[in-house]
Amino acid sequence: MIELVNHLEIYKILPKTNCRECRLPTCLAFAVAAMKHDKKLSDCPYLAKDVLESHRVRGAKAESSDDDYLAAMKVLQQKAAGLDLGQRAEIVGGQYADGRLTMRVLGKNFYVEDSGFVASQCHTNYWLAVPILNYVLSSAGREPVGEWLPLRDLKHGGEDWWRLFGQRCEKPLKKLVDEYTGLMELIIDIFDGRPAPDQFNSDLAVIIHPLPKLPLLICYWQSEEGMESSLNLFFDRSAEQNLIIDSIYTLCTGLVIMFEKIARTHGK
Ligand code: SF4
């Protein structure tokens, strides 16, 4: 971990485009704010994940710490514990029996117990548990309409989130598939995905269901004739009615972490 001890060191790792996405007028102003801990490095959507993971501002609390997630989980669990899960089951596309709501998540059973505790057939990471609880708490239960949109086109927040989403979800996933094209097949095998040929003229496309009423389309275009490869994630038009956008972001970040582990395990 590299410790950044003054604002000039922070400035050096910034893109220096003064794009204002961080709501400050310049990258230098951002560096000064980050040094004072008024901004986090992750507030610049153009800092890549590996840069964020390898740099820290002196005195700053580690970002994305377990404590933050545990605190978020605790609040959500308390809210879920006050719900009538039997009544929510039909809305969210699950079944309720024996004091717990069962839902299919990525082809596996996940359980939300009356206490608000989330359990699963496989290892659950916080990144999935938080969106699962948000989904159970607030999904409107809209059925997917079959119209795929990039995150940017989701009405309530897509514009605010798409750059960060591109940096932290689509870009690392593209890199993974570049290095290990078999990953798309593994996603189909492990997560009960289904191939989706002819979607947006992509070379590889897979649909998975991270939540019962929240399908996700992953499209990958191979590099050709000097053009770089690319990868985009698409959401059903109904997505935001079933999950708030910051949880959609968290969910996809969690998926990328899972896919990274799978690629490592299967010898990327
Ligand atoms: S978002 Fe990043 S690149 Fe854009 S002005 Fe802020 S610090 Fe600079």
Write out pLDDT tens, residues 111-153. 999 999 998 876 656 678 889 999 999 999 999 999 999 999 9
Percentage of the chain with pLDDT > 70?
94
Atom 4 in ligand 1: which residue has the minimum CA distance? 19
Query: How far apart are alpha carbons 163 and 169 in whole angstroms?
Result: 10
Pocket probe mutation, ligand 1, options 11, 13, 22, max atoms within 8 Å of Cβ: 22
**What pLDDT score does 104 carry?**
93
- Measured in angstroms, how far is the CA atom of residue 246 from the centroid of ligand 1? 20
pLDDT digits (tens, 9 = 90+) for 147-180: 999 999 999 888 888 888 998 899 999 999 999 9
**What pLDDT score does 267 carry?**
63
Q: Which residues pair with 221 in a beta bridge?
A: 230
Is the predicted pLDDT of residue 37 greater than 70, yes or no?
yes
- Return the amino acid letter for 185: E
Distances (CA, A) of 128 to 16, 167, 251, 268: 34, 19, 6, 23
Is the predicted pLDDT of residue 36 greater than 80, yes or no?
yes
pLDDT range class, residue 252, cuts 50, 70, 90: very high
Domains belonging to the chain, first-starting first, are 2-57 (1.10.15.40), 66-138 (no CATH), 148-265 (3.30.310)
pLDDT digits (tens, 9 = 90+) for 43-84: 888 888 778 888 889 887 655 556 667 777 889 999 999 899
pLDDT range class, residue 202, cuts 50, 70, 90: very high
Residue 23 CA: nearest ligand 1 atom is: 6
Atom 7 in ligand 1: which residue has the minimum CA distance? 27
Q: Are 164 and 152 in contact (CB under 8 A)?
A: no
Average pLDDT of the chain?
Answer: 89
**What pLDDT score does 46 carry?**
85
Q: Which of helix, strand or coil describes residue 217?
A: strand
- Measured in angstroms, how far is the CA atom of residue 189 from the centroid of ligand 1? 39
Q: What share of the chain is helix, strand, coil (3-state, %, to 5)?
A: 45, 20, 35
- Measured in angstroms, how far is the CA atom of residue 152 from the centroid of ligand 1? 19
Pairing label, strands 55-57, 2-4: parallel
- Measured in angstroms, how far is the CA atom of residue 134 from the centroid of ligand 1? 30
- Return the amino acid letter for 255: L
**Residues with C-beta less than 6 Å from any ligand 1 atom:** 14-15, 17-22, 24, 27, 30, 44, 46
Rg (CA), the chain: 20
pLDDT digits (tens, 9 = 90+) for 255-266: 998 888 888 887
Residue 121 main-chain phi, psi, to 5 deg: -70, -30
